[in-house]
C-alpha cells in the first residue's frame, strides 16, 4: 500500500491538484484547438447581434482618400453615419445642414438605405468567412502562450487544395494571430499575400503581393470591439482595370444600444447629437 507525506494528503494540496487538472482539461492543448474555440466564441458573439454607437475615423476609397470623422449608430440593416469632420476640420454650418438633410431623407425613406447597406453586409460576411478556413487551410507555428495571450504564425497548408477563387487567394496568405487565452477571443489578425495569384489565367484578375488585411480588437467593460481595421488589395481585375482597395479605420467611444433600434430611431439619435 502506498503512503504519502502528510503535506501531500492535505485538503489544500488535493484541492490545488484538482483545480490544476480541471484547468488543464479545459485549456486547448493544440493550436487548432485554440483556433476552433476562438471561432466558436466569435460566432456566438456575432449571433447575439449586439449594436453600438461609436466614433469612427476612416480613410478609404469611400472617403476619397480623405480622413472622415463620423458618429456611427449600428442597426440591423446597417450603419447610419453622421459626418462630423474631414481631415481634422469640423464641417461648416452649410455642410452640416446638408448632412442633416441627408439623414432626414434616410429617415423618410429607410428602404433605400437598407438596399445600399446590403453590399456592406456581404463584405462583412466575407471577413468572417476568413476565420472559418483557418483550421483547414493553414499550418500554425511558433505558438507561444505569453502574458495571457496565445501568439502564433501561420502559413498555407500544402496538404490542402483550394477550390473557389476566394480560397485560392486566401491559401496564398500567411500571417500572425493573437488570441486572448482567458476568453479565447481574437485580439489581432494579420494576413499578407506571399505571392501573386493569377485567376482565370490572368484574364479575370491578378492579385499581387502587398495585399494584406489587419484587424485589432480589444475588450472594454466586458465587451469585445474591433478597434482598428486596415486593408490593402492590389489587383488587376476584369478588363485590366487596376484596383487598389485601401482602408484604414479606427473606432472608439463605444456605447451599447438597444438591439432592436430601427433606422429612423438611429437617425433621430444622430440628429440630436448633431445640434
Instruction: Tell me whether residue 167 is in a domain.
Output: yes
Mean pLDDT of the chain: 82
DSSP state letter for 9 = G
Tell me which residue has cell 503535506: 7
Instruction: Tell me whether residue 171 is in a domain.
Output: yes
DSSP, collapsed to helix, strand or coil, labels residue 208 as coil
Tell me which residue has cell 484578375: 205
What is the distance between the alpha carbons of residues 182 and 219, in angstroms, rounded to a whole number?
12
- pLDDT category at 55 given cuts 50, 70, 90 is very high
Which three three-digit cell numbers place residue 230?
486596415
Instruction: Tell me whether residue 79 is in a domain.
Output: yes
Instruction: Tell me whether residue 147 is in a domain.
Output: yes
Report pLDDT for 123: 54
Express the helix, strand and coil content of the chain in percent, nearest 5 each.
Answer: 35, 40, 25
CA distances from 192 to 11, 30, 67, 174 (A): 52, 24, 24, 6
Tell me which residue has cell 478597434: 227
Instruction: Tell me whether residue 16 is in a domain.
Output: no
Q: b/e per residue, 29-56, with b = 16+ CB within 10 A? A: eebeebbebbbebbeeeeeeeebbbbeb
Report pLDDT for 136: 84
Q: Which domain holds residue 64?
A: 28-273
- pLDDT category at 209 given cuts 50, 70, 90 is confident
Q: What's the total number of domains in the chain?
A: 1
Instruction: Tell me whether residue 163 is in a domain.
Output: yes
Report pLDDT for 5: 42
211 or 6: which leads in pLDDT? 211
pTM of the model: 0.80
Return all residues near 144 (Cβ < 8 A) that are at least 6 apart. 150, 151, 152
Instruction: Tell me whether residue 13 is in a domain.
Output: no
DSSP, collapsed to helix, strand or coil, labels residue 131 as helix
Task: With a cut of 60, say whether residue 59 has pLDDT above it.
Answer: yes
What is the distance between the alpha carbons of residues 110 and 77, in angstroms, rounded to a whole number?
10
CB 221, CB 194: distance < 8 Å: no
Instruction: Tell me whether residue 191 is in a domain.
Output: yes
- pLDDT category at 144 given cuts 50, 70, 90 is very high
Amino acid at each position: 500500500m502506498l503512503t504519502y507525506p502528510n503535506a501531500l494528503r492535505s485538503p489544500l494540496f488535493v484541492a490545488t491538484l484538482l483545480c490544476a487538472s480541471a484547468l488543464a482539461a479545459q485549456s486547448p492543448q493544440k493550436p487548432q484547438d485554440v483556433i476552433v474555440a476562438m471561432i466558436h466564441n466569435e460566432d456566438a458573439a456575432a449571433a447575439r447581434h449586439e449594436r453600438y454607437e461609436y466614433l469612427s475615423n476612416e480613410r478609404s476609397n469611400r472617403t476619397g482618400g480623405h480622413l472622415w470623422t463620423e458618429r456611427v449608430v449600428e442597426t440591423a440593416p446597417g450603419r447610419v453615419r453622421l459626418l462630423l469632420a474631414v481631415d481634422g476640420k469640423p464641417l461648416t454650418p452649410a455642410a452640416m445642414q446638408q448632412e442633416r438633410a441627408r439623414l432626414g431623407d434616410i429617415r423618410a425613406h429607410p428602404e433605400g438605405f437598407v438596399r445600399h447597406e446590403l453590399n456592406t453586409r456581404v463584405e462583412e460576411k466575407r471577413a468572417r468567412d476568413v476565420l472559418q478556413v483557418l483550421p483547414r487551410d493553414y499550418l500554425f507555428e511558433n505558438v507561444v502562450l505569453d502574458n495571457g495571450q496565445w501568439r502564433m504564425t501561420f502559413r498555407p497548408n500544402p496538404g490542402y487544395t483550394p477550390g473557389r477563387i476566394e480560397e485560392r487567394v486566401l491559401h496564398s496568405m500567411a500571417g500572425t494571430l493573437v488570441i486572448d487565452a482567458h476568453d479565447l477571443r481574437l485580439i489581432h489578425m494579420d494576413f499578407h499575400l506571399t505571392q501573386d495569384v493569377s485567376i482565370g489565367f490572368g484574364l479575370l484578375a491578378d492579385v499581387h503581393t502587398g495585399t494584406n488585411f489587419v484587424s485589432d480588437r480589444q475588450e472594454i467593460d466586458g465587451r469585445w470591439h474591433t478597434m482598428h481595421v486596415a486593408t490593402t488589395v492590389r489587383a488587376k481585375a476584369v478588363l485590366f482595370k487596376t484596383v487598389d482597395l485601401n482602408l484604414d479605420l479606427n473606432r472608439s467611444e463605444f456605447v451599447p444600444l438597444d438591439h432592436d433600434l430601427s433606422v429612423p430611431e438611429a437617425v433621430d439619435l444622430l440628429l440630436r447629437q448633431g445640434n
